[in-house]
Every structure is written in structure tokens, then in C-alpha cells.
Amino acid sequence: MTYKILCSDLDGTLLSTKNDVSDFTISEIGKIKETTRIILVSARMPKAMIYLQKRLGIENEPLICYNGALILDNEVEISSTLIDLKYVEKIHQHADQYGISLGLYYRNEWYVEEQTERVNKEINHTKATPIYRSTYKTIKDWRKRNIGAHKIMLMGTQDTIDDILPELRFKFNSVLNIYRSNDTLIEISPKSISKLLAIESLLGEYASFNDIIAFGDNYNDSEMLQYAHCGVAVGNAREEIKTIANHTTLKNTEDGVAHFLNQHFNI
């Protein structure tokens, strides 16, 4: 099989560890990158993706960041969709009642209130460093700058996340995408964005979804896998995602994307 465009999620999909791609993945991507556009599609911030672009040798390709809330092409902003500051404030008020801390993201800015084990894990996973200051100060600063958030991350315990999730969905589901990324994390993005819509905005006239192969593992990858001509779930993907996908490959820790390319691409 051959495709004009390969779109891949990062965490739990293309990355074989928490923060890097394997040499095998670099090798297999290297065999197709001259004839197939390789577009990384992630909930990550730009600088947490650019180092992976460099590792793969695809710096000339656009980046779909924050699940589509920010699209960049060589750091030129193609599209930007923000969570209105009034919702940032409301989310903060609800989270504060449960003792849940926030991570606030705007372009390459990442703000947290304090250094915690969860924040340290995120630093290790993304190779990005946050700015430490109170959420109130960040909101005040953003109000002066007339900006909002590309992404909000809620960091709590399994119990507090269990408790707040249905409340957030009840109150904000009409305006925000509210997505549980693991037992202790919730990620929030603008309602109007998705990985699928971001990919569609990059297709132009020369390509369609029939020209795309896509790889993913989680709920926010579902549309991307469903509409791509060839949607591939990694072995560690959620069962619902495997059901949607055309194929299932090995786990991300077993270089599932690279193995699929090696076995099925005309390289």
C-alpha cells in the first residue's frame, strides 16, 4: 500500500517510550518521508513535538498541536482556537473545590502552580518546562493579553477525577471537549476542534482522506482513524478504538507503527 499522508498520534502510539521514538521507527519513517508527508497529531504543546520532528527528520511538515487547537507550519500559525478565559476561570473554580490543580497552555507557554510528582512526570515525558505561578496570576496576565487557553489539564487523584468529571461534562459539554486521558488526568480543549478537522484543513486540493493512513490509541484518535482510508490502532489501544480501526498492529512499546509500515508499505 502507498499513501500520500501519514498522520500519527504520539503518546501511546508512535512513541515507544514516554518521551521518544525508537531507532527502528526513525528508520522506517526515513524510508517513506520523501514520498509520504508525515504529520504528527497530538494533544502536546509545540515544543514537546518539535524535538520529535527533528528526530524523525520531518521538520518541514506542519504540526497539529493541542488536538487541533493550534496548527503550525514551521512555527507559522495556520490556525488557533482558544478556550475563552471565562471558562478557564470557571474550570479553575470547580477544580479548586476538589483540590485539583491545573496546567494551563497557550502556544509554547505552560503554567502550573507548583512542582509536583505529576508535573515532574510531564516534564520528563514532554521535555518541556513549565512556568510556576498561581493560576490567579496566569488568568490576570491572560486577561491583559486578551488570550485564553489552547488546553487545560486537570491533575488530581483517581477519586477526585472520578468526582469532578461528570460535573464538568454536565456544565460545559456544549462548549468544551472534556477528555479523560488517564485515571488522574483530564484534558480540556475547545469544542469546535478535533484532530480530524485539523487534518482536513491541511489537505488542500491535492489530497483527500482516501490518501491518508492514520495511527492512534485513544478516544481523541477515533475520528481520525475512522475517516482515514486506512486507520490503524496500536495493540495497547482502547478496545473501542480497535473496533473502529481497519487494522491493529503491535503495542507502541513494541514499535507497532514501524512494524506495520515495514510489513505493509511499499518500501
pLDDT tens column, 12-35: 999 999 999 999 999 999 999 999
Cell 485539583 locates to: 100
Query: pLDDT tens, 23-72?
Result: 999 999 999 999 999 999 999 999 999 999 999 999 999 999 999 999 99
- Cβ burial of 198 (10 Å; 0-12, 13-18, 19+) is buried
88 CB neighbour count, 10 Å cutoff = 23
Instruction: Give the whole-angstrom CA distance, residue 116 versus residue 113.
Output: 9
C-alpha cell at 175: 462548549
Q: pLDDT band for 151, please (50, 70, 90 cuts).
A: very high
117/122 Cα distance (integer angstroms): 9
pLDDT at 257: 98
So what's the pLDDT on residue 2?
82
Coil vs helix vs strand at 206 = coil
**The pLDDT value given to residue 265:** 80
CATH of 5-80+193-264, one of 3.40.50.1000, 3.40.50.300, 3.90.76.10, 3.90.260.10: 3.40.50.1000
Cα 218 to Cα 227: distance, rounded to the nearest angstrom: 15
The CATH number that domain 85-190 falls under is 3.30.1240.10
What integer best gives the mean pLDDT of the chain? 95
Cα distance between residue 43 and residue 54, in whole Å: 18
Q: In this predicted model, what pLDDT tens digit does every residue of 179-199 receive, in sequence order? A: 888 889 999 999 999 999 999
Instruction: Measure the CA–CA gap between 45 and 128, rounded to whole angstroms.
Output: 9
DSSP state of 14: I
The domain ranges of the chain are: 5-80+193-264, 85-190
Scan for cell 492514520, then name that residue.
Answer: 214
The cell 497552555 sits on which residue? 105
- pLDDT computed for residue 125 by the predictor: 93
- 267: confidence class by pLDDT, cuts 50, 70, 90: low
For the cut 80, the answer to whether the pLDDT of residue 266 exceeds it is no
pLDDT(246) > 70 = yes
Three-state DSSP state, 5: strand
